[in-house]
Amino acid sequence: MKLLWKDVDFDLQNYTKRDTKSGKTLTQPMNEKVHEVLLRQRGLLNSSSAELQGSSYVFPASDGGLRRLDSLKKRFSQLRDLAGIPIEFRPNYCLRDTIASMMLSNGATLAEVAYQLGHAPGSPMTRRYAKFIPAAQQSIANKAQEAINSLLEPREETSRTSLLHG
């Protein structure tokens, strides 16, 4: 909602995200879909009111200013209720989780997901997504097996020793 047109560079095919959750400013390349959405948004605004045409925001409020999350909550709440989605559902976080899990399931690294979402590499939020990596899931299962084996081995030796000396 804070994205400004001055931060969109169609020539270099990138956009800048300012003041991310981690407090950083990130310039990211546009993929084809982002490029298409931004071009369509520009076209939509160009055929709208003067306030929207002249807005510095890519996704402005109806007066051309910064769109507030509260302005979307009413509409989202109506859709959520009609769809039977639980009230505690948080659309922005669920969308980010969906994007992260899909990226990881399709071979992206945690570092790539962190970069895309504006998280610091190795942050708690980034590590949270490790569960979506198939190789990580197998590694976790293998480590659990190793832990179980290490717990069982001493008992087996203790039992054998007891039987031999008992």
HEC secondary structure over 43-66: HHHHCCCHHHHCCCECCCCCCCCC
pLDDT at 109: 82
Q: What is the CA radius of gyration of the chain?
A: 25
Return per-residue pLDDT of the chain as tens, 166 residues. Answer: 889 999 999 999 999 988 876 677 888 899 899 999 999 999 999 999 999 999 999 999 989 999 887 777 777 788 888 888 788 877 777 777 788 888 887 778 888 888 788 777 777 777 777 776 766 566 666 777 777 777 777 555 555 555 555 5
Please work out, in degrees rounded to the nearest 5, the angle formed at the alpha carbon of residue 99 by the alpha carbons of 97 and 104: 95
Structure-token pair, residue 21 = 């959750």
Torsion of CA 69, 73, 79, 80, to 10 degrees: 100
pLDDT at 154: 59
Q: Which amino acid is at 21?
A: K
Domain extents for the chain? 1-67
Cα separations (Å) of 104 from 59, 78, 125, 147, 157? 28, 31, 14, 26, 42
Contact call for residues 48 and 58 (beta carbons, < 8 A): no
pLDDT at 106: 79
Residue 42: name the closest of 87, 88, 85, 5 by CA: 5
